[in-house]
Amino acid sequence: MGIALRAPGRLLPALLIVSAALPAWAQLNLESAVQLARQQDPHTAAAYAGAEAAAETAVAEAQWADPTLRLGIASLPTDSFAFDDQAMTQKVVGISQKLPRGDSATLAGERGAHTAEAGFADAAALDLALERDVGLAFLTLSEQLRVRALLAENRRWMQELVGYNRARLASAQIQSQQLLQSQLALARLDDRIAEVDGEINRARGVLSRWVGAAAWGAVDASEPAWRDTRDWLAAQVLPVPLTLVEQHPAVAASNARVAAERANVALAREAYKPQFGVDLSYGQRERTPTSDGSDFASVTISFDLPLFRENRQDRRLAASRARESAGMLQRQNLLQQLHAELNGAVAMAQNLDRRRNEYRTELLAQAEATADAVLKGYASNTAELDAVIDARMDAIEAQISAAELTYGYFRALARIRYFRATSTDANSK
């Protein structure tokens, strides 16, 4: 089987869900956010518990039915209620055993084992989805924090411009309109910061779904390294091979369900076979005037006759085959869906990587150089204040766009890591 039926060391910690919080002094980073989310995730814990239940049930389903013990009295005369009055009076003990219908017990155990396998694979897929979703939420928050830091840094520059214009107005080098214009630009920047603060709080609220109160504390907004995923991405040509998603836990779960339905088909075939039963009994008699009191032993073999198959066995076999076919089609659909999503994530990551490299190598430097040049022209009275503010705002927007591209790129990597989870390490550097 592709997924182990047992997950030792994983289920118990998952069940012991704690409301753990990071120390007040600690910064929440991506790795600690994922760890904390796993500690507090009831969904995956419930999936592992369900898989454990299915594994235990599989063992029980493979067993024979319990034997039946019979104790009784046969042919007791009602006129005297004496055991030694009539020759046929017996004290009877018997045991009967129903035998499995063909290989149905073994097949039922196999079906349960495949069901448990699917459950553990589903739990593994949920864990990967949790890591992906927490990563996406954390990177979105980190992006907003980075944007706010950029705006705060440029606000200091805008404050210096206001102070510079105030000094020039005092020396009658400019008109009051130019001071008011720079103050308006500062106010607009403050409004932009307030808007981003709202986005930060919204992003914290989304992240708190998984990490609780820790989302409202200090956050390390550093970009993850993920060198393994970045190196893998650089070597990819679209479309990526379908084999990359075939080992995904969600596919493994689908495979296990198909195997369980295949076992159901085999079980339906076993229903055409008779089910046997064996009955052993022993009767003890007392001596009577007409009998020496010999004991009796009996053996009975019984079996049913599955003669009327058209509306019972035939229908159940047809239903089992249809469910098996449906499972195979669902597996194919899942493969196509995962493959398409992986191709989309790869295409997005490659495009964002190219664009962010353009910003880092050209656009950011050009925007900053333009803003510096216009500022120098303003200081020497060869440029207008409008041009200074516009150039600075363009530089700010370029910095923000570069940050958005960078964190968008890492969000695409987080999606790629979800699909390539069997060959990547969540803690890789």
Give me the pLDDT at residue 12, please.
37
Can you name the CATH fold of 11-64+99-272+309-423?
A: Outer membrane efflux proteins (OEP) (1.20.1600)
22 and 214 in contact (C-beta within 8 Å)? Answer: yes
CB atoms within 10 A of CB 214: 24
Report the C-alpha gap between 266 and 273 in whole angstroms: 12
Look at the chain and count its residues. 429
Determine the average pLDDT of the residues in 252-266.
Answer: 96
Report whether pLDDT(5) > 50. no
Report whether pLDDT(429) > 60. no
pLDDT, the chain, mean = 88
pLDDT above 70 covers a percentage of the chain that reads: 91
Give me the pLDDT at residue 273, please.
93
Domain extent listing, the chain? 11-64+99-272+309-423, 65-98+273-308
pLDDT above 90 covers a percentage of the chain that reads: 70
119-167 residue pLDDT tens? 999 999 999 999 999 999 999 999 999 999 999 999 988 888 888 778 7
Residue burial 239-271, b: 16+ Cβ < 10 Å; e: rest: ebeeebbeebbbbbbbbbbbbbbbbbbbbbbbb
Give me the pLDDT at residue 172, please.
66
Report whether pLDDT(233) > 50. yes
Report whether pLDDT(1) > 50. no
Question: What are the residues facing 72 on neighbouring strands?
Answer: 92
369 and 392 in contact (C-beta within 8 Å)? Answer: no
Report whether pLDDT(14) > 70. no
Give me the pLDDT at residue 24, please.
46
**Strand 276-284 with 296-303, pairing:** antiparallel
Residue 396 pLDDT class (50, 70, 90 cuts): very high
Which of 114, 128, 132 shows the shortest CA–CA distance to 253?
Answer: 114
What sign for the dihedral angle of Cα 332, 334, 337, 339? negative
Residue 404 pLDDT class (50, 70, 90 cuts): very high
Give me the pLDDT at residue 80, please.
83
156-205 residue pLDDT tens? 888 888 887 787 777 766 667 888 888 888 999 999 999 999 999 999 99
Which of 402, 392, 374 shows the shortest CA–CA distance to 157?
Answer: 392
Determine the average pLDDT of the residues in 309-324.
Answer: 93
- Name which of 17-21, 245-249, 252-256 the model is least confident about: 17-21
Give me the pLDDT at residue 423, please.
53
Report the C-alpha gap between 353 and 349 in whole angstroms: 6
65-119 residue pLDDT tens? 999 999 999 888 888 888 888 888 888 999 999 999 999 999 999 999 999 999 9
